[in-house]
Structure 1
Amino acid sequence: MHVNGMHRVKVQWCECDRGDGDNRWRQAIRMGWYPGSWKRPKTFATFECLKFFRRLNVIARCNVRDFVTLLERMSDPLNIAFIADRYKVFGWMYRQFAYLKRVMRAGLGHTEGGPSKAPWGAAATRCWACPRPGVNLPDGWSEEDENCSWKYRLFLGLDANFRLENRARVKSVKKVYEGLGEGLGCIAHSDHYFSHINKGIVEEEAKPCTPFAAITQKDTRLDDNLRATGIGGCSCTRHQCVRPLGWVDLVKGERSVA
């Protein structure tokens, strides 16, 4: 799979004693091909193709299905020949490739124990204006007078979207999804977050005079078969950058954790 379509290519793998005959995926990576399987790779996408789709996905909001269909039409405009469906395998390759690039840019490739052992939020892009001791704060900043200490304070803002729902589909209820690099970016680790939620939720009775409809309707909205009823976030008020582990899924209504 390349930027100009899908191609059938005969490949002669190196089988010599000095080569990596057992690791064909390693040979493909050295050629700039990303394998669709790590055991018996037969489908590949070039690095240029994956990078090109990344730009289309971020800027033009192009999804995997439309991009794969585009490559199929470029290979066979009249739709005469048979072309195998590469929708799922390309989605897998792109997710893995994006995760590896993210880990590489965050400098987590040589972390002891692998990227999974890195601190939470290590791959998140931090705000360049938020105060960070040892990074952008001068020596002796903690000893400044009160008239000047406000410059070194952290300004944060909280907000939530109670309409951004995520439905639990019937086919995906029994499936176990393991995210790549969960907890390394701006979204909190699900297991740790929900264990914190289950410790205790304190609900206050909404006053009838409150102007916020989200509070008064917290017990009347339909939330059946929903994995999340909204999303909440924490960002800095200087440049609107999301804080590491700043996004979380919301439970029913405006519940708060004690």
Structure 2
Amino acid sequence: MIQLCGNGTACSLCHCGGKNLPIYRCRECFGIEMICQSCVVERHRCNPLHQIEEWMKDFFKCVSLKSLGLCIQLGHNPGEICLNKQRANGDYFTIVDAHGIHKIGLNFCGCEIAQIHYIQLLCTCWFPATSSNPQTAATFAVMELFHLLSFESKVSPYEFYHSLARRTDNTRITPIKWHNLKLLKRSGRGHHPNGIGTMQEEGWENVEPRSKWIYALFLAIDANFRLKWKAVSSDQHDPSLNAVSSYFVEETQYKSYLAEQFTVPQEVQFHLNMADTKSSRGLAATGVGTVDCAQHKMKLTSGVGDLQKGEKLQFDRKNKTVRFFVPKFHINAHTPACQTNFSFNYSKGVGRMDGEAPEQGWANVNRVATSTKEMGPRARRDTLDDNFGDWNWKKVTTFGHVLLRKLKEAVGSAKLHSDELAELQSVIDAVSLNAWKSEVETWEGDSSQPNPFESRIACE
């Protein structure tokens, strides 16, 4: 317990037996013990980013470990002395951590076998703001915390940073980006032999015949106009970190294509009720259009593009088989003709999917619009890339138990449906069965033929 004398000063000695009064406590360490200056420094050689408070007779005041005499030595174990230490940034170094923003005393190792400075920081799990003469770094822990919060609660870098600043002393530093490296790592591109700047689009149309099956996916195209951003910067001044390595298409070619298609009449596929509203005027983009894998509900590489007024969403249909469906949740609101002609249940080869991938993806990412609408082009695209990548990553990491669960359900359902079909067919004459089968197969091969699933009972 905190023992204070009648005048508000500490009245007991530290447990170490020294003469210094125990007027310090740690906000992160377990317990409420008060200790002296020497003990607090010694205890925190392995925890140099904890928040320390000093008793000021009437209240506790935050105090830095640096001011108490702690200096962090990189390149050696805690407590070891480097005979060739190199003081960092004039004895002041800034560390951003989940506990707050710290001004610390830091020494780099200058021994003969020492790594360069930014490598020494990375080995300590501190992410430097720059590789040249770093003066600021963020812990891996705080970067991971922000990364998760940006996905689950859609917190912006601005809000996250100011939350840390309020927990500290309103120190101002620039937030450090981490998500681009994580995205490259998860996609297997983090160690590209020639550097990520040499990565190119895959060119699916030119792959070998044996590999074309990789690109034969069920796709769902969706447009969303709630992700809007202003022309606050430019691609020249603010280029993307991801370039063509992630989900957004290559911007220069994409804008060139849009300019060419500006005067081409477009088929109306979407109800663009927000494209010409007052709130959309003066915006560099009114949203994004995406191509999703409707089987696995994942965003596809180079499958995202910005939308402007008069969206150009058409694509070259030559040598492609295009079939249209209405997602299962939405189809009940459509006419009976839609329910039979565009149903997943009645179409061959689509499997047991619901087609709701785009809507579910937007439900996940819509909340990030509050942050992206004020960003420049690079920050906005990279932020959306990061969120799309996290959506895909969560899918990949859950495939194991999800696919196992669905496989078990499919085995049981297949047996049940097979038995029920056999029972139904046993009470129907062979002539009718063969006629119905022929009608279904004819319609599956040519959708212009009569639809066998349409009701033939005339309602009075």
Structure 2 counterpart of 1:237:
294
Opposite residue 222 of structure 2, the aligned amino acid is D
Unaligned runs of 5+ in 1: 77-82, 123-131, 138-151
Distance verdict in 2 for CA 1:31–1:202, change over 3 Å? same
Report 1:102-121 matches (<5 A): 102-120=183-201
- Residue 172 (structure 2) aligned to one of 53, 78, 85: 85
- Alpha-carbon distance change, 159 to 211 in structure 1, aligned in 2, over 3 angstroms: closer
SS at match of 1:34: strand
How much has 1:248 moved relative to structure 2?
Answer: 0.5
Q: Is the 8 A contact 1:121 1:185 kept in 2?
A: no
Residue 100 of structure 2 aligns to a residue whose secondary structure is coil
The corresponding residue for 1:178 is: 239
Aligned-CA RMSD value? 3.3
Residues 1:121 and 1:65: Cα distance change in structure 2 (over 3 Å): farther
Residue 172 of structure 2 aligns to a residue in which SS? coil
In 1, are the aligned partners of 2:285 and 2:307 still within 8 Å (CA)?
Answer: yes
Which residue of the other structure, out of 70, 76, 79, is the alignment partner of 2:163? 70
> Once the 2 structures are TM-superposed, how far is the Cα of residue 221 of structure 1 from its aligned partner?
4.9
Inter-partner Cα distance in structure 2 for 1:30 and 1:254: 48
Judge conservation of contact 2:165–2:171 (CA < 8 Å) in 1. Answer: no
How far residue 108 of structure 1 moved from its aligned partner, in angstroms, is 1.8
Equivalent residue in structure 2 for 1:190, among 240, 245, 251: 251
Say yes or no: does 1:13 pair with 2:108: yes
In the superposition, relative to structure 1, how do residues 228 and 30 fare at CA in structure 2: closer, same or farther (>3 Å)?
same
Give the conservation status (yes or no) of the 8 Å contact 2:199–2:244: no
- Correspondence for 1:214 among 272, 275, 278: 272
Code of the residue aligned with 1:255 in structure 2: it is K
- Could you tell me whether the CA contact under 8 Å between 1:202 and 1:255 is conserved in 2? no
Larger radius of gyration: 2
Deviation at 1:212, TM superposition (A): 6.1
- Please identify which structure carries the higher helix content: 2
Q: Report the CA distance shift for 1:212/1:136 in structure 2 as closer, same or farther (over 3 A).
A: closer
CA displacement, residues 36-65 of structure 1 (integer Å, 9 cap, x when unaligned) = 222221111110111111111111222222
CA drift at 1:175: 6.4
Secondary structure at 1:234 match in 2: strand
Give matches, 1:2-41, under 5 Å: 2-20=97-115, 23-41=116-134
1:196 to partner: Cα distance: 2.5
Take 1:211 and 1:175, find their aligned partners in 2: how far apart are those partners? 33
- Choose between structure 1 and 2 for higher RCO, CA contacts under 8 A separated by at least 6 residues: 1
One-letter code aligned to 1:214: L
**Residues 13 and 254 of structure 1: is their aligned pair in 2 closer, same or farther, counting only changes over 3 Å?**
closer
SS at match of 2:303: strand
> 1:121·1:184 contact (CA, 8 Å) conserved in 2?
no
TM-score normalized with structure 2 length: 0.41
C-alpha contact (below 8 Å) 1:5/1:72 kept by paired residues: yes
Unaligned runs of 5+ in 2: 1-95, 204-208, 317-460
- SS in structure 2 at match of 1:71: helix
Return closer, same or farther for 1:110/1:163 CA change in 2, 3 Å cut-off. closer
CA distance in 2, matches of 1:39, 1:255: 44
Q: Contact (CA 8 Å) 2:248, 2:305: kept in 1 or not? A: yes
Residues 178-199 of structure 1 deviation map (CA, whole Å, 9 limit, x = unaligned) = 1111221111111121123233
- TM-aligned CA deviation for residue 85 of structure 1: 0.5
Shift of 1:245: 0.9
Distance 1:162 1:53, change over 3 A: closer
Structure 1 SS opposite 2:257: helix
Kindly report which structure 2 residues correspond to 1:140-179, keeping only aligned pairs within 5 A, or say none.
154-169=217-232, 172=233, 176-179=237-240
Q: CA 1:62–1:163 in structure 2 vs 1: closer, same or farther (change >3 Å)?
A: closer
Structure-2 change in CA distance of 1:53 and 1:133 (3 Å): farther
Contact 2:101 2:171 in 1 (8 A): no
Q: Is the partner of 2:290 in helix, strand or coil?
A: strand
TM-score by length of 1: 0.70
Q: 1:186-229 deviations in whole A, cap 9, x for unaligned?
A: 111111211232334453288xxx896528x97x6566532113
Q: 1:205 to 1:155 in 2, by over 3 A?
A: closer
Query: Identity, % of aligned pairs?
Result: 25
Q: Does the 8 Å contact 1:229/1:251 carry over to 2?
A: yes
* In structure 2, C-alpha distance between the alignment counterparts of 1:157 and 1:27, rounded to whole Å: 47
Q: Decide whether the 8 Å contact of 1:120 with 1:183 is kept in 2.
A: yes
Amino acid at match of 2:272: A
